[in-house]
Amino acid sequence: MSSLIKLSHTAKEKYLTSPRGYFYHYHLYLREKTQGSPLFFGSLIETGLDALFKGATLEQALEVFRNNFKTIKANGDVLNLSTSPLIRYSKADLDLAVFTEDELKKLEGKSVQFQSWLSLQRKGELLIEAYQRDILPKIKKVLATQVYFSIPNDVGDEITGYADLICEWEDGRIIIPDHKTSSMSAKQVAKNEGYLKQTALYFEAFKDKYPLDSTGFIVLEKNIRKKEPRARVDFIFEKPTEEIIDQTFEEFDSVLQSIKQAEFPCLSPKCDMYGQQCCYKKFCTSGGTDMTGLVKVGKSK
């Protein structure tokens, strides 16, 4: 495994969480059969935001979001978000407070899957509306959206990714805000070291092309306020420190070297992080014979 590698922030974080899981995902192409809502909710909201950035009206942007919030592609299949048993919604996704009394009556008899899908769609609409109301007026000029970057190292490996947005803020600063759909507040998100390293990467990737002042986060809070109901979108920006930039690239170098040296240990204490069992646990503990919950896509390396 000495060939050149392209490594994204997401892939690097997956390796740090579980080197063995990284190997199963990126080298054996073993993927989880089911798809949890966090895997697609934020990216589908991004379709509506991108429409706003391109000059669409609020209603046009909402329509773009609704049209996209019907199906997703996963493991080579197209999954219906409202009916597929391969889509996982959490209890927090279903919030009846986002519906009117008439809508609640129409939902009677519908499956929890359908109700959760429609609830999450409504939350997405509220968040896009809040973004258009509270954030968009602060963006003086959109310079780029969903822009790809590649940072090569000395031997030709590449750190790759996409920046959600590069813009001129209302006070004249050129910033790269990363959109986060989260149950955390902007202040809480800004304390997450992994997220900070992600935005530090953006800063280094684009600092020579744009006169950047800051990076940071625009946080679309998933917890909808019960009164009205009302969504909250907040932001926090600051220039990444040299320390966090150095840590970011040192981490990438370390992970790249470990991958090239085929170091994929199982970090067993992390098999049940955040109250969820690692999707590869049965496969791992069975010596590769138990494929429960997994599907193989593509060809293994």
Domain CATH code at residue 256: 3.90.320.10
**Comparing C-alpha atoms, which of 233, 126, 139 is closest to residue 185?**
233
Residues 166, 83: contact at Cβ < 8 Å?
no
Q: Is the predicted pLDDT of residue 197 greater than 70, yes or no? A: yes
**For the stretch 132-158, what's the b/e string if a residue is b when 16 or more beta carbons lie within 10 angstroms of its beta carbon?**
beebbeebeebbbbebebeeeeeeebb
Binning pLDDT at 50, 70 and 90, where does residue 243 land?
very high
| 202 contacts 178 by C-beta, under 8 angstroms | yes
Average pLDDT of the segment spanning 163-192: 95
Residue 80, domain member (yes or no): yes
Contact call for residues 175 and 215 (beta carbons, < 8 A): yes
| Same-domain status, 185 and 218 | yes
Contact 97, 224 (CB under 8 A): yes
Which segments within the chain are labelled E, that is strand?
6-8, 30-32, 35-36, 71-74, 77-80, 87-88, 139-152, 158-169, 174-182, 214-225, 230-238, 294-296
Q: Give a yes or no: residue 288 inside a domain.
A: no
pLDDT at 300: 46
Whether the pLDDT of residue 301 is over 60: the answer is no
Residue 174 DSSP SS3: strand
- Count Cβ atoms within 10 A of the Cβ of residue 234 and give its class: 0-12 exposed, 13-18 middle, 19 or more buried: middle
pLDDT digits (tens, 9 = 90+) for 33-85: 999 999 999 999 999 999 999 999 999 999 999 999 999 999 999 999 999 99
- What is the per-residue pLDDT for 267? 82
258-300: per-residue pLDDT in tens? 999 999 998 876 666 655 678 998 998 899 999 999 999 976 4
Please give the mean pLDDT across all residues of the chain.
93
> What is the number of structural domains in the chain?
2
Cα(211)–Cα(69) distance, integer angstroms = 36
Asked whether the predicted pLDDT for residue 149 surpasses 70, the reply is: yes
pLDDT of residue 269: 65
Q: Are residues 116 and 162 in the same domain?
A: no
Domain that holds residue 104: 33-134
Distance in angstroms (rounded) separating the CA atoms of residues 203 and 249: 12
Residue 45's pLDDT is: 98
Of 114, 134, 154, the last residue of a domain is 134
Average pLDDT of the residues in 180-193: 93
Instruction: Say if residue 12 is in the same domain as residue 144.
Output: yes
> Checking DSSP bridges between strand 139-152 and strand 158-169, what pairing results, if any?
antiparallel
226 and 269 part of one domain: yes
In a domain, 229, yes or no: yes
Identify the pLDDT of residue 230.
83
